[in-house]
Amino acid sequence: MFISLEGIDGSGKSSISKMLEDYLKSKNLKVFLTEEPTKEIFDVKSLMEMNLDVYTRIFIFMADRVEHIKKIKRAIEEGYVVISDRYVDSTFAYQGAVLKSILKDMEKAYQYLDCIYNPFRYDPDIIFYLDVDPKTGISRIKRKREFFEDIEFLNDVRNFYLFLSVKRKYVKIDSNGSLEYSFKNILKYMEKI
């Protein structure tokens, strides 16, 4: 099984990913917790500090993903449950939010990104989308780091996630409350399946 966690910065994905890993391990499952961007072929995080064009960013994240998918597939074949803290829906939502302002159309932006993803497509079985108000998200990360995206941009990213929610069959989790509250709703879903 392949699970991805998505959401804007400060939605609690990383903490929830670890909580989910512990829960699945307690059920005696083998778990491979991974994240994007990876550090596999290049240092994506330091590249992101450069003032790069959106198209350059798209290809960097996609290239990183092509290599990541090989690792994910290997883990699945070896019987692991894979949890990825961010995956392709981050490119759809973050780069999609920027492309939308260029192409003036959300659907066109999504179609373009989906076309690039298509040849190596490997979709998660479950996409948990942790939905948080950007103001709340920012106030959470402000406590932890200096750099963060501005609220307007995060609003656009959130709108893109919401736009994809039905199309990409997200399991939407209200993440405005405590981590425990979000995780309880994730468990409710996991127990059902």
Among residues 91, 110, 161, 183, the one that binds ligand TYD under rule CB under 6 A = 91
Tell me whether residue 30 or residue 120 sits nearer to ligand TYD (CB atom): 120
Among residues 90, 124, 130, 164, the one that binds ligand TYD under rule CB under 6 A = 90
161 lies in the site for ligand TYD, by CB under 6 A:
no
Among residues 80, 94, 117, 128, the one that binds ligand TYD under rule CB under 6 A = 94
Q: For the CB of residue 37, give the shortest distance to ligand TYD in the complex, in Å.
A: 5
51: three-class secondary structure by DSSP: coil
Strands ordered across the beta sheet of 81-85 = 31-35, 81-85, 2-6, 126-131, 171-174
Tell me whether residue 37 or residue 124 sits nearer to ligand TYD (CB atom): 37
143: left (phi over 0), alpha (psi -120 to 50) or beta: alpha
Residue 43 buriedness (CB in 10 A; 0-12 / 13-18 / 19+):
exposed
Per-residue binding string, ligand TYD, 34-53, x by CB under 6 A, is: --xx----------x-----
CB 11 within 8 A of CB 132: yes
117 lies in the site for ligand TYD, by CB under 6 A:
no
Helix axis angle, 134-142 to 151-164, nearest 10°: 130
The residue with tokens 């509250």 is 181
Q: For the CB of residue 189, give the shortest distance to ligand TYD in the complex, in Å.
A: 22
Contact range with ligand TYD by CB under 6 A, out of 68-76, 83-91, 158-166, 174-182: 83-91
Q: Which helix (H) or strand (E) holds 177?
A: none
6 lies in the site for ligand TYD, by CB under 6 A:
no
- Total chain residues near ligand TYD (CB under 6 A): 11
Q: For the CB of residue 122, give the shortest distance to ligand TYD in the complex, in Å.
A: 15
**Measured between alpha carbons, how far is 80 from 73 in angstroms, rounded to an integer?**
10
108: three-class secondary structure by DSSP: helix
Residues found near ligand TYD in the complex (CB under 6 A): 9, 36-37, 48, 61, 86, 90-91, 94-95, 149
